[in-house]
Structure formats: C-alpha cells, structure tokens
Homo-oligomer: A and B are copies of this chain.
Amino acid sequence: MKDRVYNFYAGPGALPLPVLERVHSEFFNYNNTGMSVMELSHRTDEIQHIIDDSGARIKRMMNLSDEFEVIFLQGGGSLQFLMVPMNLSHPGDKIDYIDTGYWAEKAIKAAKSLGRDLEIIAASGDRNHTYVPNSDSIQTRSEAKYLHLCTNNTVVGTQFHNFPKVPIPIVADMSSDFLSKAIDPSPCACIYAHAQKNVGLSGVTAVVIRKSILENSPDDLPELLDYRTHIERKSNYHTPPCFSIYVMWQILRWIEEDIGGVEAMEKINWQKSSALYDFIDATPLFDCPVEVESRSRMNVVFRLPTKSLEEQFIQEAFESGLVGVAGHRTQGGCRVSLYNAVTLDAVKNLIEFMDKFAQKTNY
C-alpha cells in the first residue's frame, strides 16, 4: 500500500500488514455471526474460542508445560507491577529486583508502595543503564520470594539474552520482547507482557503463571486482583478487552502459521537488528552507546554528534516516510524499534536513508 509509512514507534507501533488486511476483511461480519467481532458478547463461543486459542498458541510457542496457565488482563504492565507482589508475596516478605532503568524502576516503585522488603540486588545505573548485569553474577537473597527483571529495556536499548541462574523463581516483565524469540521458561514463576509491542494493540496484557506459586497467595486479595480468579474464569471474569485479544490472536496465528513460529521470528529479528547495528558501528556519524553483549534486538538506540543533527535526522527521516525514530523523551537521541511486525524491508530502507544522511553530512 503505497500511502503507508515505515513505522518504528516504540509501541504501540507497527502491526503486520497481513493481519490488518484480515481484520479489515472480516470487519462487518465475523465468522458468519452477522456482526463485527467488536459487537460480539464476551459470553459467546466465538470470543471464548479466541481467548482459549490465544492461550494455547502462547503455550505452544513458549514451550510452556501444563504447570503454567496463560491469562489475559487489562491494566498493562503497570497493573502487573502491583499484581505480581500482591499475588506472589505477603506484606513484609523479601522480594528481589534488578534495576535496569526506567521500566524496571517503575516496577520497583509500585512493589515498594505495597510494603514489601524489596531489595535491588543488581543494577546498571553506574554506567547509565548502557548494559544489563551479567546473568551469572546475580546473587539473590535466600528467603526472597522471587527475582523480578525487565528482560528488554525499551528506553535504553538493552536486553537480557538469558535468564539469570538463581535459586529462586524468576518473574520476567517481557513486555517488549514477548514472543520475539524462543525461550526456556523453566526458571520462571511468572512472565507478563502487554501486547502493544510484539503482539498487538494496547489494552491487553498476557500473564503466564506457574500454578503452584499461587498456593501461597494471600487469601484477602480483592477478587479482581487475584490471579486465581482469572485462571478459574478463563480470562472471562469480567468483560475482557475482546477486540485487543482478537487482534493479538490474529498476530499469534501470523507468527505461528505465516512466519513459522518463534524460532523463525527470532531469526528475522536478529537479521533486522544485526543489519542496523553493523551499519551503525561502521558509520562514524552514528554511535550506539550500549555495550555489545547487552544490545537489544528490539530497540536500537543511537546518537548523532550534536542535538541539532539529531533533530535534523529525525525530521528528514519523517519526511522520507520513516516514522518514530526519536529517542524516549527522558533520553533524547534516536531510537528505532524493530518489533515482530517491522519488516526487513523497513530496516533496509532505514539503513539506506541513514547512509545517504551520513554521506550528505560528511561524517
């Protein structure tokens, strides 16, 4: 479609064009119901099937055994910052967190507001969060209920490529690298991710829970904030965000059936990010401040020599149909997000533009 731009927003951002086309084509009459999927009651078989099949696809693609349940909630990652400590610990309990910057710190602040004995057991603030702590060197406290980390850090462009090896359960905020690669979930008690980076629209958050961890949940949780409620009610305790789940489901189908699964998705994501990092490293105009081993495959952060060159770059990129390349408002600079729906073609076009820009500015 020639009037569409290349979208590098950090999320919400690009959606796969085949998914948009499918949603558009069945817009007025979903599955012969005679109504839009947006008009279906959440109590219909169609909506429950979309929910259940989404869960089944996530279980397959994440190698989740039947020890795990997948539920879909509202409230974004931010509500999980509260629900995780509420469900997985009691007031006064020890909980361990890794501080890798902006979003990790939001999770820490929220958990602290609930009165837990929270300790930051590893952090990257000493070097401006341009790296993630070495997974092998992380030491948790012996009685801590869990270790929380944010696996991919959108603001600073870092990523854990492996889960730390620790003797306590891991809780992983995978909001920005969920289903972008194959993982081994066995060290995890909980993995959560809002959909708007790699698998859809804002408004829905997938939460993967190891059921056994909930045996120790407090008994006095409000029903809505208790994971057990949503497991029992198959993510239909109250009206779910049906349309966001439906779009997520179409993207899960696209990853599994069109792309060929998360291993194939991961290969494409590495191709995209490697092409861009290689170009940046070879081009003096651009500088990626992130340490090589910690670089995110999702969000590529880079700087130009001056603020005015950065502004010019962002402006000219926009005019060339390359949208969303400004850095996070707290950081400045540039950031390009390469979530699942961003194509290799988009990245090639971006690199071509960056190359011309570098030549023009004589750096």
Chain A positions within 8 Å of B, measured between CB atoms, are 1, 3-5, 7, 9-15, 20, 23-24, 27-29, 33-36, 38-43, 74-79, 81-82, 109-110, 113-114, 194, 196, 201-204, 220-225, 237-244, 247, 321, 323-324, 329
Complex Cα distance, B38 from A7, in Å, reads: 12
Complex Cα distance, B43 from A13, in Å, reads: 11
A82-B113 in contact (CB<8A): no
Complex Cα distance, B235 from A202, in Å, reads: 14
Can you name 27 A-B pairs with beta carbons within 8 Å?
A4-B28, A5-B35, A7-B35, A11-B41, A11-B239, A12-B40, A12-B41, A12-B42, A14-B39, A15-B38, A20-B28, A20-B38, A34-B321, A34-B323, A74-B79, A74-B203, A76-B239, A77-B238, A78-B238, A82-B224, A109-B223, A113-B220, A113-B221, A194-B239, A202-B242, A203-B243, A243-B244
Copies assembled: 2
* Across-interface contacts of A11 in B (CB, < 8 A): 41, 239
For the complex of A and B, list the 10 residue pairs with the smallest distance between their C-beta atoms, beginning with the closest: A5-B34, A203-B241, A9-B41, A74-B74, A203-B203, A78-B238, A202-B239, A113-B222, A78-B224, A74-B75
A241 is contacted by which of B13, B27, B241 (Cβ under 8 Å)?
B241
Instruction: Choose among A27, A225, A243 the residue with the greatest number of B CB atoms under 10 Å from its CB.
Output: A243
